[in-house]
Structure 1
């Protein structure tokens, strides 16, 4: 297929989880023989932090606004087999209308922020998608599975709401030998709704276990946070350094956004990255997590700081490695970019099959 993606960013991983999601998926699609063009609105905050300006698995074109998009890329969008518009694309509603009016192939909205999107829609906020444009897409690809898919179809008229979780590039994430520097680490941009859980599951255990080593990597944390002395801070960790970061931890922590906990069935890319590295994960609980990893065998789940302390102090190295190996096996079977690309192909084939039936009168 010829695929055009209008996404928030693929060139910069700074302060967002979109870039790594697109990179794994598009690399998987390219490996399966698809030709991809990524159209990215040129924004100064990403221009200053571009860690992958020219991916080798897709062509990237930067544009300055809607007028340039329509003037320069109408034929590209018109002739593509599949056109994907992502969440948080600047002027997303107008971009969606233009794509739906221009594209002659299959169109899809890829919501990398589904619970956040639904919360915005309920408040009447149409920053990047609106109830009016949702039914105009052939596919609504959702970061969230479970009951949310039915809700998208029933409440917002999505034609086909299908889950398309994030994924991992196995060439970038794998176990490697090296010194273990921290007992527990966390990688994520600051978010006010995640901070109480980070306080509970990392900062409190760090205060209680002064001999332990901890680290938090990610931008935008307020200067007034009282970090314990045994918690290291890294402001930004580019994707090229993620593998080394995970492999230097005995355990890694996953913390989930409030909206995603409420929706359930919303695994983050950090889960798959850490698991691909064979690092045992400690996660806060949410509905659907057990469908992604098997609790206790592939992942440890708790909301209790004392339980985290016990795991850090008492889990044997052999038991921790067994959890990490089991999680990695699950990721390699179900959550790579190649696997996600195959799932997307199936959804596109579904749309095309329905179109053939409609034309034939079946």
Structure 2
């Protein structure tokens, strides 16, 4: 098939500091490049990312930085000529950027929400930080990190013409089992979030206090300095993507903790689930609707109702069972959740939307300035 010209406006591609967007975009765009598509990624230049750029020159797409909305207009011709333009969640001045895209683009326009439940909670409060109801109706396609009932809600409540799930994924060439010494019995990798912290307290810090002979680690930025880490819990401020596979490989188990909005919505897997499983590290997760459609509980993932469940796995699970759990989860990811799978899904959505738009008349009305 003819390759697609795609323009993406996303939060960050160049820096993974304090955000989970960069690894998602990197895996997806690298897989699109393998399929022959031409991608331009436009990133708002922000000082906190500029100070921590771990991929300033991606080899799989073009990356351009812009200082403000006025400078974004330099890319007007590229946006207009693209077969598809995708705007991501949490893009700075995202409503204005989205309006610009909808006014200029002649091809398909899409919104890719990597934070769907958070976005919906914001919209319910009247918070239009990066997306507004009017903008939702103006995109041809709404891609969501969250599946399940949320998709029909986006169409019924907010008028999205077409809402499709596009879960996060993993680049299996980067996330794979490694032979490294095991340093920790349980790890957690994630940026600090106030609504995740109580679960982290319950499922990692509390077990650590009850099992001083075990070793734990929390890795992520923005944690408050006044957290009282137990003596057997190591804290790492940041692990770059290049170190993720080794981090997981050094962990007997790793913990998945989900934000409150995403638990309420369900069907909202974290990219860490797929990354850890691809690395052959068994995952202990909090519980939410839809998780069992992604991994089989007890066979591919362990569900934790509280500290006792976690300690039971860390202390009581035979090594052969632990390895079997890890192998089954890795196989599930390789069969269903790699970046190649997501790129294929995205390409299908885009081509379907292009065909639908060409068949429709009159042409879609753009959002007014």
* TM-score of the superposed pair, with normalisation by structure 1: 0.98
- Could you say which residue in structure 2 is the equivalent of 1:67? 70
Q: 2:45 aligns with which of 42, 47, 51?
A: 42
Q: Deviations over 1:134-159 (max 9, x none)?
A: 11101000010000000000000001
- Could you say which residue in structure 2 is the equivalent of 1:281? 283
- Could you say which residue in structure 1 is the equivalent of 2:272? 270
Runs of 5+ consecutive residues of structure 1 not aligned to the other structure? none
Q: Distance in 2 between matches of 1:218 and 1:313?
A: 26
- Could you say which residue in structure 2 is the equivalent of 1:137? 139
Q: Does 1:8 align with 2:32?
A: no
Q: 2:78 aligns with which of 76, 79, 82?
A: 76
Q: 1:26 aligns with which of 26, 29, 32?
A: 29
- Could you say which residue in structure 2 is the equivalent of 1:358? 360
- Could you say which residue in structure 1 is the equivalent of 2:91? 89
- Could you say which residue in structure 2 is the equivalent of 1:210? 212
* Aligned-residue offset at 1:303: 2.1
* Aligned-residue offset at 1:346: 1.1
- Could you say which residue in structure 2 is the equivalent of 1:258? 260
* Aligned-residue offset at 1:355: 2.3
- Could you say which residue in structure 1 is the equivalent of 2:346? 344
Q: Distance in 2 between matches of 1:213 and 1:338?
A: 35
- Could you say which residue in structure 2 is the equivalent of 1:56? 59
- Could you say which residue in structure 2 is the equivalent of 1:184? 186
Runs of 4+ in 1 over 6 A off after TM superposition: none
Q: Is the 8 A contact 2:15 2:52 kept in 1?
A: yes
SS of equivalent residue, structure 1 residue 210: coil
Superposition pairs for residues 118-133 of structure 1, below 5 Å? 118-133=120-135
SS of equivalent residue, structure 1 residue 144: coil
* Aligned-residue offset at 1:353: 2.5
- Could you say which residue in structure 1 is the equivalent of 2:366? none
- Could you say which residue in structure 1 is the equivalent of 2:327? 325
- What is the alpha-carbon root mean square deviation over aligned residues? 1.1
Q: Is the 8 A contact 2:95 2:129 kept in 1?
A: yes
* Aligned-residue offset at 1:359: 4.8
Q: Distance in 1 between matches of 2:17 and 2:32?
A: 23
* Aligned-residue offset at 1:357: 3.1
Q: Distance in 2 between matches of 1:100 and 1:74?
A: 11
Runs of 5+ consecutive residues of structure 2 not aligned to the other structure? 363-369
* TM-score of the superposed pair, with normalisation by structure 2: 0.96
Superposition pairs for residues 187-202 of structure 1, below 5 Å? 187-202=189-204
Q: Distance in 1 between matches of 2:161 and 2:21?
A: 24
* Aligned-residue offset at 1:255: 0.2
- Could you say which residue in structure 1 is the equivalent of 2:312? 310
Q: Deviations over 1:323-354 (max 9, x none)?
A: 11111111111111111010001111221232
Q: Deviations over 1:16-70 (max 9, x none)?
A: 0100110011011111110111000000010000011111101100001111111
Q: Distance in 2 between matches of 1:182 and 1:36?
A: 39
Give the paired residue count: 360
Q: Is the 8 A contact 2:107 2:354 kept in 1?
A: no
Q: Distance in 2 between matches of 1:133 and 1:33?
A: 30
